[in-house]
Amino acid sequence: MKPIKYLLILFLAIGPYLHAQRLVKTVNSAWEFQLGNSNSRKTVNIPHTWNAEDAFTDGQYFRGKGIYHKEIFIPESWSEQAVFLKFEAANQLTKVFVNDKLVGEHIGGYTAFVFEVTEALNFGSANEIRIEVDNSHSADIPPLEADFNFYGGIYRDIEMIVTGKSHFQLEGEAAGNLLIKTPEVNENMARVVFEGKVVNPNENLKLQLKIWDPSGKIVSELNQPVNTGDLSVDLTIDDPKLWSPENPQLYSLQADLIDIRTGKTIDSFFSKFGCRWFKADPEKGFFLNGKPLKLIGANRHQDFQNMGNAVPNSIHRKDYEMIKDMGANFIRTAHYPQDPEVYRICDELGLLVWTEVPVINDVTDTEAYHQNAINMQREQILQLYNHPSIVYWGYMNEIFIRLVFTRDMQEEAKTAKIKTSVELAKKLEAETKKLDTSRLSVMALHGSDIYNTSGIADIPDVIGWNLYFGWYSPGLENLGKFLDEQHKKYPERPILISEYGPGSDSRIQTNDPKPWDYSEAYQLKSHVSYLNQVIERDYMLGMAAWNFADFGSSGRQDSRPFINQKGLVNFDREPKDVYYYYKARLTKEPFVYIAGKNQETRYISKDSLVKLKVFSNSDQVQLEIDGSEKKEAQVKDNIAEFSLELSEGEHRVTAISGKAKYHRNIKVFFKENLLENIENGPLLINIGSHSDFIDEETGEIWISDQGFSGDFGYVGGDTYQKSKDKFQGIAANIKGTDREPLFQTMREGIDSYKFEVPEGKYRVSLLFTEPNRGASTQNIYNLTSDEIQSEKGLREFDILINGNKVEKNLNLAREYGILQAVEISYEVITEDGINIEFKPEKGKTIISGIRLEKL
């Protein structure tokens, strides 16, 4: 049965029991919002952040205070009740005032908090609510720094909760959650322990507890008197229906507080839970309900294009449905607890979860920092306790990375840093186990031995490695070696890969992928290799790709600035090729997909073949070309590769494997004919790159560069390379364009670019950028000639088109500034061909792209 249908039945089954003895309602709409010291207010709805736009403009975003105001009418009839405000989260320091009275303060941006406001309210009249939220950097609040945006605001729901004077506890770290523990589960029985606190000033109460099994049948019932204070009930379920990714069956528990004198229910608590058991074996991997299960999935950040972190529940749901749909069984909510809805969804869908608190990159050696980190872990565990999906409580990510990458750090300072981090890890481990012995503790490390030598890696139950071989460090194949070494050295330590994967950009397409080219093809190649290397190692618990979706990170300058592009899907959740690859690799329903959604137009040379990759979960794929010709290929690692001899023009290819079918139209152009057909459209060249670049706005394709051997191409020079083994070009924000990759790749030291065009009038547009960050425009004339020699960026060159000098001493830095997109168009009348010559005066010549149009 589909989960939705099944839930509906469950809901109908338990519907009558959900009496509204506790009023819970959102208070999200129409708050008056004021940012920083500004006097102006605007009306906003919660979820809200003030950084949805500015985090994507110049690498800086507002970090400070925002104030939310609202008048709320409180009815007279509530005066005998208790009233609470619950915040699912606000980033990151929050103060709540009711009628100018401070009712509570919360530290931390990713967990919920509840304040009782009864005493501050005026009943039967309007009440002024003011919420001050501050996302300024604080040395005492994790995270100190990280590769994602700390968007400020009340970005999750606000609820108002009204109960009787006696009620289940709402205030406190659990934010109203009562714990359902399953300390013992096997095929025959599950022990269920229900724990909570009752606030009971004056009534004579009893507790009525019911448990429904996944089919809606009551399997346990209990009535007992309760007093104020701690509550603990121990129950047993026979033949429990086990929760698993294939069959995520959930039990429901409802606890009612009943006034014995009147028989009325005065407060209720409802939660689902699940019965399952698991372990992490350092030799044999992860086991769920006694069976081995390789954990394969992704990490997920909570932001979305144009919304920052203020996303509705529907987007959370869609994300996890997509993750489930691609066949994953595992998710890491990196790097912080996510919306409560997320864990409900993972329970329902059957995704195993690693959830963690945001202690990232660095630790402050203060009591306050340590305590805040511990409180976050307490809140996370107590609030999310009942979710059967959660199997790991995480508490640190790459905690030594700042230390490793800080140059000139004194030995003493390093030792102190290690000491405070290890101490904090020990405290977090102790706190985690104090609250929950049934789950595994975990931390994520970057590829450095310092975690082993410092002893920190021995603290949690499980170690996650964030490994970027083939990206930050060379060689995809080094992954397996690294893992084997670790496993051999630490045979008692269960390990998994908590992050891996390169950045990619759907605008960059090639059949010849290289590290750092940001192509979808390189991303695919790298994920295939990682999957192979992990799946063949039994001791590996599993792996989580970095990241499910592209996400905002204001400090990043990749091929799309301010965005981390390692997503399997884009920031707007449009899948990249690799997403479909996972689907082929991990799902069982017949599936076939022709890769290259963004590569439907191919520019090839006449004598070469069109390469197609087809993803499939069967052994063989048949390809039908233009309805008649058929080809067949074996599937290896869920990919069937085809090399097709296709004529110029449009072709329809259909891939068939078993019951699954997929069509794609492929348009082929021969490069040799482009100049001949230039009347039909411009020739666009992505100079300095082996990839085609697709302009998302116009659909134009800037084809990969080529050397001249007749027809068109460059003469002389080298591909511009900022650092060896890395990006061919410069990964930096280029001002004045959103076609960054076009300007980021260049040819340096080029002598000329030639086109054997027929006679006529043409427009030649040349694209440039000065990549040298050191080439300052201000002090350029103050440098001595020696300095000029050493400053590679200080270049000046002439440009001649068919012998006519069109630029004299072109100095990009001086005339336009560095990292600025520059486009200059020239009109040319020719009788025979176009030759663009570049003559250096100082430094090396450089160019990023050419557009050639016939007029």
Residues found near ligand GCB in the complex (CB under 6 A): 146-147, 335, 397-398, 446, 466, 499, 546, 564, 566
Tell me how far, at minimum, the Cβ of 675 lies from ligand GCB, in Å: 41
271 vs 397 by CB, closer to ligand GCB = 397
Tell me how far, at minimum, the Cβ of 216 lies from ligand GCB, in Å: 42
Q: For residue 662, count other CB atoms closer than 10 A to its CB.
A: 18
Tell me how far, at minimum, the Cβ of 693 lies from ligand GCB, in Å: 22
466 vs 486 by CB, closer to ligand GCB = 466
- The DSSP code sequence of 619-673 is SEEEEEETTTEEEEEE-BTTEEEEEE---SEEEEEEEEETTEEEEEEEEEEEGGG
Tell me how far, at minimum, the Cβ of 551 lies from ligand GCB, in Å: 8
- Asked if 184 contacts 371 with a C-beta cutoff of 8 angstroms, the reply is no
Tell me how far, at minimum, the Cβ of 427 lies from ligand GCB, in Å: 22
- And the tokens for 162? 């009204």
- Asked if 191 contacts 236 with a C-beta cutoff of 8 angstroms, the reply is yes
Distant-in-sequence, close-in-space partners of 585: CB < 8 Å, separation ≥ 6: 327, 531, 615, 617, 637, 638
Distant-in-sequence, close-in-space partners of 798: CB < 8 Å, separation ≥ 6: 805, 807, 808, 809, 810, 838, 839, 841
Tell me how far, at minimum, the Cβ of 97 lies from ligand GCB, in Å: 35
Which burial class, exposed, middle or buried, applies to 498 when counting CB atoms under 10 A from its CB (0-12, 13-18, 19+)?
Answer: buried
Tell me how far, at minimum, the Cβ of 46 lies from ligand GCB, in Å: 27
What's the CA gap between 149 and 172, in Å, rounded?
Answer: 28
- Asked if 333 contacts 311 with a C-beta cutoff of 8 angstroms, the reply is no
Tell me how far, at minimum, the Cβ of 225 lies from ligand GCB, in Å: 51
User: What 3-state DSSP class applies to 704?
Assistant: strand
392 vs 768 by CB, closer to ligand GCB = 392
Tell me how far, at minimum, the Cβ of 469 lies from ligand GCB, in Å: 12
113 vs 392 by CB, closer to ligand GCB = 392
- How do beta strands 390-397 and 352-356 pair? parallel
User: What 3-state DSSP class applies to 502?
Assistant: coil
State which H helix or E strand residue 577 sits in: helix 577-586
What's the CA gap between 611 and 162, in Å, rounded?
Answer: 64
Q: For residue 76, count other CB atoms closer than 10 A to its CB.
A: 10
The per-residue b/e assignment along 349-358, b for 16 or more CB within 10 angstroms, e otherwise, is bbbbbbbbbb
Nearest residue to ligand GCB on Cβ basis: 147
84 vs 546 by CB, closer to ligand GCB = 546
33 vs 516 by CB, closer to ligand GCB = 516
Which burial class, exposed, middle or buried, applies to 645 when counting CB atoms under 10 A from its CB (0-12, 13-18, 19+)?
Answer: exposed
Tell me how far, at minimum, the Cβ of 451 lies from ligand GCB, in Å: 13
Cα-based torsion angle of the residue sequence 358, 360, 362, 368 in order, rounded to the nearest 10 degrees: 0
237 vs 399 by CB, closer to ligand GCB = 399
Tell me how far, at minimum, the Cβ of 89 lies from ligand GCB, in Å: 19
- The DSSP code sequence of 373-440 is HHHHHHHHHHHHTT-TTEEEEEEEESTTHHHHH-TT--HHHHHHHHHHHHHHHHHHHHHHHHH-SSSE
User: What 3-state DSSP class applies to 611?
Assistant: strand
Tell me how far, at minimum, the Cβ of 47 lies from ligand GCB, in Å: 23
**Residues 687, 692, 696, 699, CA torsion sign:** positive
What's the CA gap between 352 and 481, in Å, rounded?
Answer: 27
